[in-house]
C-alpha cells in the first residue's frame, strides 16, 4: 500500500456533509476493496444549511464574519458585551446583549446559561491577531448544544475582536439568512472475519474542518486503519476486526454516535474499540487514552517497553470517536501522536500533507498492528467489560449530562 497516495488523493477540504466528504468516503471504500476487503458506505443524518447572507456591523461599520450554520435566520441588534468567562457574575451582565467570547465555540451548559441570562446573539473568534492571514472558520450551532432555543451566532477574526474591545464598540447588528435542511454524512465499514462471534472495532474519522485538508487530523488515522488492515488481512484471527472510517467527527463525533446507535444490538459482541486520531507526524509524543479498566493502560506501557516503542498511556476520556463506544459500555482507547501546534497545527489551513512523515507513520502503523494482532488472537480478550466509575463520571461531563465539578 502506498501511504503517500492516500494523502495525495485526499488533499482538499472535505468537511462534514459535503460532496467532498463523500468523495473521500468513496476513496476509502476503494482502498479497502483494493486490499481484498469488502466495504460498504452507511449514511446518517446531519443538520446542514446554506448561508445566503451574513453581515455584521459594529457601530454601523461592517466587519467580516461567518454566520454559524444552523443558528437560524434573522436580524439582531444590541449592545456589545465582551465576556471572557462563563461564571455567574459574567452571566449576569449578558441580558439583552450581543456577547463576545474568547473561544471558537461553546458547550451545552454555557449556552443554556446564556439563554437563561437573556443573551441576544453570540460572537466567537478564530485565528491570531498577529498572524498575516485573516481566515475565519466556518462553525455550526450543534443540536446537542442549542436544544430547542437558537440565537444568531457568528465567527469573526481575532484581530477584529481585539478592535471591537479596544475601540469600545457600543452597538452590534448581526444579519443572517440561511436555508437549513437535513443532509447526509457517511461511515465506511469493512471487516475481517475471526473464529469467534465477538470482534474488535477499529475507528478513525476522515472528515476535515472547513479550512483544513485534514492530513494530520485525521487522514493519518485512516491511513493507520488501512495499514492495520493490510497487515491483518491474510492472518487467521480469533476475534474478527471491523474497520469504521467515521464521518463528521469534527462536528461532535457524529459518525461514531451514529454507528453505536445503528448497531446497538451487536455492541455486546464488541470486545474492544481501538481508535486512531492523528499519528505519523515528524515530531510529537505518542499517547494512548484508555476509557476502560486502568490495567489496560499498564498493559500498553509494558508492551511498548517490550517492543521498544515509547507510549505515554493513561486512563481517561478522549475527545474522539472512542468516546461513544465507551459510553455504551465497550472498553475503548484512542492512540495519537500529539505534535505541537507550531509543528503540526490542526483545524486550519496549515494541516497539510507536508506535515506528515511517511517513515514515522509506518513505524506507528507497525506498532498499532502488533497491538491489534495481540488482542485479535487472544484466547479471551483480557480487558474487563466494565467501565470504571471515574470514567463514567468523565463521560457524563464530556457528553453534557452533568456539569464539571
What confidence tier does 324 reach under pLDDT thresholds 50, 70, 90? very high
Q: What is the pLDDT of residue 361?
A: 98
Considering only CA atoms, which of 52, 61, 54 is closest in space to residue 160?
61
* Residue whose entry in the numeric block shows the C-alpha cell 477499529: 202
Mean pLDDT along residues 332-345: 96
Q: What is the pLDDT of residue 1?
A: 86
Phi, psi of 224 (to 5 degrees): -60, -45
Helix pair 220-232, 358-376: axis angle to 10 deg: 50
Mean pLDDT over each residue of the chain, to the nearest integer? 97
Residue 148, pLDDT score: 85
Mean pLDDT value of segment 173-188: 98
Residue 273 has what pLDDT? 98
Q: Quick one: pLDDT at residue 137?
A: 96
Looking at the predicted structure, is the pLDDT value of residue 130 above 90? no
Average pLDDT over residues 193-199: 98
- Considering the chain, what percentage of its residues have pLDDT values greater than 90? 97
pTM of the model: 0.96
Q: What percent of the chain clears pLDDT 70, i.e. is strictly above it?
A: 100
Supply the DSSP string of 313-375, one letter for each residue: EEES--SSTHHHHHHTT--EEEEEEE--TTTS--SSTT--GGGB-HHHHHHHHHHHHHHHHHH
Torsion sign (Cα): 77, 78, 79, 83: negative
How far is C-alpha 187 from the chain's CA centre?
Answer: 14
Q: Report the DSSP pairing between strands 270-276 and 332-338.
A: parallel
Q: Does the pLDDT value for residue 405 go beyond 90?
A: no
CA separation for the pair 72, 49 (Å, rounded): 9
pLDDT at 44 over 90: yes
**Per-residue model confidence as pLDDT tens digits over 248-303:** 999 999 999 999 999 999 999 999 999 999 999 999 999 999 999 999 999 999 99
Mean pLDDT across the stretch 374-389?
A: 96
Q: How confident is the model at residue 106 (pLDDT cuts 50, 70, 90)?
A: very high
Amino acid at each position: 500500500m502506498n501511504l503517500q497516495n492516500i494523502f495525495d488523493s485526499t488533499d482538499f477540504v472535505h468537511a462534514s456533509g459535503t460532496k467532498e466528504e463523500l468523495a473521500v468516503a468513496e476513496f476509502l471504500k476503494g482502498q479497502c476493496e483494493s486490499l481484498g476487503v469488502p466495504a460498504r458506505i452507511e449514511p446518517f443524518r446531519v443538520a446542514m444549511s446554506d448561508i445566503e447572507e451574513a453581515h455584521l456591523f459594529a457601530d454601523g461599520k461592517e466587519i467580516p464574519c461567518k454566520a454559524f450554520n444552523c443558528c437560524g435566520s434573522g436580524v439582531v441588534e444590541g449592545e456589545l458585551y465582551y465576556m471572557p468567562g462563563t461564571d455567574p457574575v459574567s452571566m449576569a451582565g449578558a441580558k439583552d446583549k450581543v456577547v463576545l467570547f474568547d473561544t471558537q465555540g461553546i458547550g451545552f451548559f454555557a449556552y443554556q446559561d446564556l439563554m437563561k441570562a437573556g443573551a441576544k446573539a453570540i460572537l466567537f473568534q478564530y485565528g491570531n491577531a498577529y498572524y498575516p492571514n485573516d481566515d475565519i472558520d466556518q462553525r455550526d450551532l450543534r443540536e446537542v448544544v442549542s436544544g430547542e432555543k437558537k440565537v444568531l451566532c457568528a465567527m469573526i477574526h481575532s484581530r477584529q475582536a481585539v478592535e471591537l474591545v479596544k475601540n469600545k464598540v457600543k452597538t452590534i447588528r448581526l444579519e443572517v439568512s440561511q436555508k437549513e435542511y437535513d443532509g447526509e454524512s457517511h461511515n465506511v465499514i469493512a471487516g475481517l472475519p475471526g473464529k469467534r462471534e465477538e470482534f474488535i472495532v477499529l475507528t478513525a474519522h476522515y472528515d476535515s474542518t472547513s479550512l483544513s485538508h485534514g492530513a494530520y487530523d485525521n487522514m493519518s488515522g485512516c491511513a493507520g486503519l488501512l495499514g492495520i488492515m493490510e497487515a491483518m488481512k491474510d492472518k487467521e484471527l480469533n476475534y474478527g476486526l471491523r474497520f469504521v472510517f467515521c464521518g463528521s467527527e469534527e462536528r461532535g463525533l457524529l459518525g461514531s454516535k451514529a454507528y453505536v446507535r445503528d448497531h446497538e444490538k451487536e455492541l455486546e459482541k464488541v470486545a474492544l474499540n481501538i481508535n486512531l486520531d492523528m499519528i505519523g507526524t515528524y515530531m510529537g509524543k505518542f499517547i494512548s487514552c484508555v476509557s476502560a479498566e486502568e490495567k489496560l493502560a499498564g498493559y500498553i506501557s509494558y508492551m511498548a517497553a517490550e517492543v521498544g516503542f515509547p507510549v505515554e498511556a493513561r486512563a481517561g476520556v478522549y475527545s474522539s470517536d472512542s468516546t461513544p463506544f465507551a459510553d455504551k459500555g465497550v472498553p475503548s482507547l484512542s492512540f495519537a501522536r500529539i505534535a505541537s501546534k507550531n509543528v503540526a497545527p490542526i483545524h486550519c489551513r496549515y494541516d497539510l500533507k507536508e506535515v506528515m512523515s511517511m517513515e514515522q507513520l509506518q513505524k506507528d502503523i507497525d506498532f498499532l498492528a502488533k497491538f491489534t494482532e495481540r488482542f485479535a488472537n487472544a484466547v479471551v480478550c483480557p480487558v474487563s467489560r466494565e467501565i470504571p466509575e471515574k470514567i463514567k463520571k468523565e463521560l457524563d461531563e464530556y457528553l453534557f449530562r452533568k456539569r464539571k465539578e
